[in-house]
Amino acid sequence: MPSRSRRWRLATAFLAALTCVFALFTGPAAARYGRTTGAVDQGAPTYYDSGLARTPSMGWNTYYGLGAPSEDKIKAVADYLVSSGLRAAGYDIAWIDGGWTAPQPRDASGNLLADPAKFPSGLPTLVGYLHSRGLRAGIYTDAGASDGKNCAAGSGGHYQDDTKRFAGWKFDAIKIDFLCGIAQNLKPADVFAQFSAAVRTAGRPMLLNLCNPVTNDWGVPHGPDQVAGVSYSFGPLIADSWRTDTDIAFGTPYEGIWVDVLRNMDDNAAHPEANGPGHYNDPDYLIPMRKTEKGTYELNEEESTSQLVMWSEMASPLIIGSDPRTLPQSMVNTLKNPEIVGVDQDPLAIQGVRVASANGTDTYSKVLSGNGNRAVVLLNRNTAPTSMTVTFAQAGLRGTVAVRDLRARSDRGSATGSYTVTVPAHGTAFLRLHGTDLVPGSDLGGDASASPALVRLDDTHAMVFARAANGSLEAKTTGQPGWTPLGGAILGQPAAYRGTDGRIDVFVRGLDNAAYQRTLQHGTWGVWVRLGGQLTDAPTAAFTSPQSWTLVGRGTDGRVWSRTQSSGWTSFGAPNNKPIYGRPSAVTDGTGMYVAVRAADDSVWVRTNAGWSSLGGVVSGSPTLVSTLGQIYLFARASDYTLWQVNHTDGGWGGWFNRPEFPSNAVIGSVGAAAGPDGSAWLAVRGPDNHLYQTTL
């Protein structure tokens, strides 16, 4: 075996050889691979994107504020949205909820009819008025058929006709409920998908909001696949937003609703990984300062502001449910606060996550655009003011941190380590922090556009491979300056492995969606070898040696496909025969092969010779397997964007445990990993600044 110093010299020679030998790749291979202008990191499905909600939608809905809507009332509120400045602040959808249909909701030809008593000018005329005021128009229906009892407007059996009618009336948004849907025992994943398909062919782009408010508290017969809590598993694929809980309030305001606001907030926090540009968790409408029959406020001004702050922190749709004309000017000003709204509308659309909880208080952190930027909420659930402290490391920041109060729109100076403030009862402090992103390990620089791969060269040096911002492959040996561009263009995360003789094999997904392999041996790169396949994410390999490996990838059917160095592609299937998300990971420990995947419900499943089994968890990136000293380590980014691990030892899987070295959002996508000495694992990660970092666990 070469000495450590000789291996280090060989590694340096390898990297020095890369630039010239990759001229082989930038000729005919570049023409085959083409060019790309960027790609979303691996580990996620192809999400729905209507193009109408690149940031969370904003507006006003009739349900909680008006009850049964009418033409005159809607026009009056629309005028107020304009005159008050709410429209200019972003609240630009006037959404008609239930109660708009005629007593007989369809004519003899089956067409939906508006109630002529409530809408004497007709809906097309009202929509035209809203458009003339610079507003978009929303409409309501139900997934089930109208039954005159559970829902007034129902599109069951008429999805194509109704969506075309809404498009013909020039509506810009549709809310589809599930009241008749649950009464008729429909499956929300199926019928919402069918309605979404109808919207896409209706002839007019229309924003789609799914509203399944069914929970176990309803007391109606239902199955586990019919509740709001599972909408995250299909909503991002078929709609702009989807409800995550039951209704936050009732038509008649009543005291004590604060606990229901917290309930919807907490349930909405369950799956932040489902949120992103063009697809949003929806915890229901804002209900600021509605008056009860006693003349008291359902939510006082502080509680109303806390709801707005938390919805903004979670990158939720901001749809006002109250009648805005009844609000005090101070509340209207808060709804228009550009710094609060700006957090909600941040183009990254990352949902803020809870990073600390204690004694009735919560701390939430949300990554904002630009390096080192966070929006932090200190939430006081208690009935008395409370002193609260945010620890900057929990928010993923280090060094000196600038603090700005977003509610007061005022700078609060700079601090190191932490910041303390007194938070009112049922209140919030909303802070914008700017510091340096905290990612453990050595900063390797670079400008990555996907997760990295890592090969350990010896006990002190590694080679890291990554997809650069321009889509090309690049590499760096730790301890050496700069990144070496390797030319060409790839999609997603590369995979790299080192043989016992120092040979390195790299596997990638090309722009033609085929898998490719290239080998670095004796300081020289060979040509790219096309391994075929039709992949929808990056491949990885259970790599025993250059002569013995099994490549795995996600096929066009969403299942796991594999091939060896001498065989063609065959299917491994998928957990419960449902499409997986992202790229699979594979290793062998000498007794067999293990394949780990992110399943459709964001849990982790592993396949062995015995078949598929669930490891549970809720993840936001593809899992990564490492085999070392008779053990298998599995790393995955959790739904709160922290890093978690689970180990296979002595024939069985243990429990998940958090890696405290990685605060929330220190890792983008998935880790690259290799076995280190003495049972350690060497990790390479892409940080929020798109630099690559290398550390040892």
Domain 58-344 matching CATH 4.10.1240.10: the answer reads: no
pLDDT tens per residue, range 272-298? 999 999 999 999 999 999 999 999 999
Active site residue: 97, 172, 177, 267, which one? 177
Both tokens of 324, joined, read 């805005």
CB 396 within 8 A of CB 663: yes
pLDDT tens per residue, range 326-343? 999 999 999 999 999 999
19-28, 176-185, 202-211, 548-557: the lowest-pLDDT one: 19-28
Percent of the chain with pLDDT over 90: 86
CB 535 within 8 A of CB 514: yes
pLDDT tens per residue, range 152-210? 789 999 999 999 999 999 999 999 999 999 999 999 999 999 999 999 999 999 999 99
Q: What is the model's pLDDT at position 152?
A: 78
Q: What is the model's pLDDT at position 42?
A: 54
The pLDDT confidence band at residue 500, using thresholds 50, 70 and 90, is confident
3-state secondary structure 499-514: CCCCCEEEEEECCCCC
**What mean pLDDT, rounded, does the chain reach?**
92
Q: Reply yes or no on whether 447 is catalytic.
A: no
Amino acid at 637: R
306 CB contacts (<8 Å, ≥6 apart)? 261, 379, 426, 427, 428
Q: What is the model's pLDDT at position 489?
A: 86
Distance (Å, whole) CA 390 – CA 364: 9
Q: What is the model's pLDDT at position 44?
A: 56
Domain residue ranges in the chain: 4-42+450-696, 58-344, 355-437
Both tokens of 562, joined, read 């594999």
Helix (H) / strand (E) element for 311: namely helix 301-313
DSSP states of 86-144: TTTTT--EEE--SS-EEEEEE-TTS-EEE-TTT-TT-HHHHHHHHHHTT-EEEEEEESS
**What is the third-level CATH fold of 4-42+450-696?**
Neuraminidase (2.120.10)
| E strand spans, 256-385 | 280-282, 318-320, 353-358, 361-367, 373-380
Q: Reply yes or no on whether 282 is catalytic.
A: no
Distance (Å, whole) CA 627 – CA 513: 28
CATH fourth-level superfamily of 355-437: Golgi alpha-mannosidase II (2.60.40.1180)
Distance (Å, whole) CA 168 – CA 174: 13
Q: Which residue has the tokens 């023409």?
A: 31
Q: What is the model's pLDDT at position 34?
A: 27
Q: What is the model's pLDDT at position 406?
A: 98
| E strand spans, 502-642 | 504-509, 515-521, 524-525, 529-532, 540-545, 548-554, 560-564, 570-573, 581-588, 593-598, 604-608, 611-616, 624-628, 631-637
The pLDDT confidence band at residue 411, using thresholds 50, 70 and 90, is very high
The pLDDT confidence band at residue 564, using thresholds 50, 70 and 90, is very high
Active site residue: 49, 161, 247, 266, which one? 247
pLDDT at residue 14 is higher than 60? no
| E strand spans, 392-500 | 397-405, 410-416, 418-423, 428-437, 442-445, 453-456, 462-467, 473-477, 484-485, 491-498
pLDDT at residue 114 is higher than 80? yes
Both tokens of 258, joined, read 């604060």
The pLDDT confidence band at residue 237, using thresholds 50, 70 and 90, is very high
N- to C-terminal Cα separation, the chain = 26
pLDDT at residue 24 is higher than 50? no
pLDDT tens per residue, range 29-85? 332 322 223 345 555 567 898 999 999 999 999 999 998 899 999 999 999 999 999
pLDDT at residue 518 is higher than 70? yes
Strand pairing report for 593-598 and 581-588: antiparallel
Q: What is the model's pLDDT at position 341?
A: 98
Distance (Å, whole) CA 299 – CA 306: 10
pLDDT at residue 128 is higher than 70? yes
Q: What is the model's pLDDT at position 45?
A: 65
